[in-house]
């Protein structure tokens, strides 16, 4: 089933691997297909506005950064108030409940409440407790692995420890949506390198075995085209040592060796990542210092074609 036909996608991976670029491309693809889409970043140094060539995106939803595409960079304080308002509908009631000193102290004191305010808000946009959702698809551009996992664990904890009531009902509803592979998907982003691959395999285990969440796709970002045939790798890598220190070809031989080694690591990463059965999406390395609208457009076409 296509990623873009789901209602809730959670883009996750190691720091700096391209989560925001991937989340933006998926959101752009869905919006261009006519789906009302929200790109919800989690408290990040916001690069999405540069990717899209628009003004910086703050903690309140910015409408129509592209046709059908809204975006927000969530922060807990604003998200908590908005989420409280969405659930309770009435500001007076919100004030009564959330600004009550005891409740406030409870919220501030409960680890995970800040995370839940943001995840809950993103969830609400995909699936309000009543009435039709405002968006067809919500794409969460999550924080790096550890924090993202903590965020996803919160509804499970709420389910276990919260007394029956509003909060628990919302956590139940959220987990039902998140765990339904027809409606939701975790999008794992990685690089074809050693450390990111290790982290991705661990993340995958936590998401599936521990949290029972469906994996919508494995995105391998910054993939290099193979220039060195595996059978020739040893010869390429031995080149510098075959040349004398004064050889004019030494720099070239070293570059060939470096490239071959990188491709070797990439091949090994692909082999190890094969244990993840979700559809794999490869994205090329653009070899440009910063991504902009053109690169995001190219990436989004890859998701449109899936």
Ligand X SMILES: Nc1ncnc2c1ncn2[C@@H]1O[C@H](COP(=O)(O)OP(=O)(O)OP(=O)(O)O)[C@@H](O)[C@H]1O
* Contact residue for ligand X among 19, 121, 204, 257 (CB under 6 A): 19
**Tally of CB atoms within 10 A around 41:** 28
- Residues in contact with Mg ion, total (CB under 5 A)? 3
CA distances to 116, 162, 204 from 86, rounded to whole Å, are: 14, 20, 32
> At a CB cut-off of 8 Å and minimum separation 6, what does 238 contact?
none
Verify binding: residue 15, ligand X, rule CB under 6 A. Answer: yes
Question: Shortest approach of ligand X to residue 199 CB, angstroms?
Answer: 12
* 34 lies in the binding site for ligand X (CB under 6 A): no
Question: How far apart (Å, rounded) are the C-alpha atoms in residues 163 and 44?
Answer: 32
Q: What minimum distance in Å lies between the beta carbon of 45 and ligand X? A: 6
Asked if 79 and 65 touch (Cβ cutoff 8 Å), the reply is: no
Q: How far is the CB of 137 from ligand X (least distance, A)?
A: 19
The CB-of-195 to ligand X minimum distance in angstroms stands at 14
Residue number with CB closer to Mg ion (17 or 137): 17
Q: Minimal distance in Å, beta carbon 44 to Mg ion?
A: 5
Residue 192 as a binder of ligand X (CB under 6 A): the answer is no
**17 touches which of Mg ion, ligand X, none (CB within 5 to 8 A by kind)?**
ligand X
Q: For residues 122 and 23, give the distance between their C-alpha atoms in angstroms, rounded to a whole number.
A: 14
Rule CB under 5 A: choose which of 14, 20, 73, 98 binds Mg ion.
20
- Segment 30 to 49, residues that bind Mg ion, using CB under 5 A: 44
Q: Smallest distance, Å, CB 142 to ligand X? A: 9
Q: Residue 127 or 143: which CB sits closer to ligand X?
A: 143
Is 118 one of the binding residues for ligand X (CB under 6 A)? no
Q: Between β-strands 137-144 and 280-284, what pairing exists: parallel, antiparallel or unpaired?
A: unpaired
Using rule CB under 6 A, residue 222 touches ligand X:
yes
Tell me: does residue 56 bind ligand X (CB under 6 A): no
Interacting residues with ligand X (CB under 6 A): 15-21, 44, 47, 144, 221-222, 283, 285-286, 288, 290-291
Binding footprint of Mg ion on the chain (CB under 5 A): 19-20, 44
């Amino acid at each position: 089933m296509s990623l873009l036909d789901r209602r809730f996608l959670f883009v996750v991976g190691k720091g700096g691997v391209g989560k925001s670029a991937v989340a933006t491309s998926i959101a752009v693809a869905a919006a261009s297909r006519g789906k009302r889409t929200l790109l919800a970043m989690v408290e990040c140094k916001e690069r999405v506005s540069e990717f899209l060539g628009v003004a910086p995106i703050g903690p309140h939803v910015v409408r129509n950064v592209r046709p059908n595409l809204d975006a927000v960079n969530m922060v807990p304080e604003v998200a908590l108030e908005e989420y409280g308002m969405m659930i309770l509908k009435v500001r007076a009631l919100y004030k009564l409940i959330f600004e009550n000193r005891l409740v406030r102290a409870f919220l501030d004191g409960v680890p995970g409440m800040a995370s839940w305010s943001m995840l809950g808000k993103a969830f609400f946009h995909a699936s309000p407790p009543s009435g039709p959702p405002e968006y067809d698809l919500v794409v969460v551009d999550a924080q790096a692995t550890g924090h993202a996992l903590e965020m996803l664990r919160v509804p499970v904890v709420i389910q276990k420890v919260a007394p029956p009531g509003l909060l628990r009902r919302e956590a139940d509803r959220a987990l039902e949506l998140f765990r339904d592979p027809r409606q939701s998907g975790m999008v794992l982003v990685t690089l074809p390198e050693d450390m990111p691959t290790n982290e991705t395999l661990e993340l995958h285990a936590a998401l599936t075995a521990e949290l029972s969440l469906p994996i919508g796709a494995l995105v391998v970002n910054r993939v290099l085209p193979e220039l060195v045939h595996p059978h020739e790798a040893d010869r390429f890598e031995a080149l510098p040592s075959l040349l004398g220190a004064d050889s004019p070809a030494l720099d070239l031989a070293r570059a060939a060796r470096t490239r071959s080694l990188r491709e070797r690591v990439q091949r090994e990463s692909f082999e190890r990542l094969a244990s993840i059965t979700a559809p794999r999406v490869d994205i090329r390395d653009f070899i440009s210092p910063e991504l902009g609208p053109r690169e995001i457009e190219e990436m989004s076409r890859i998701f449109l074609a899936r």
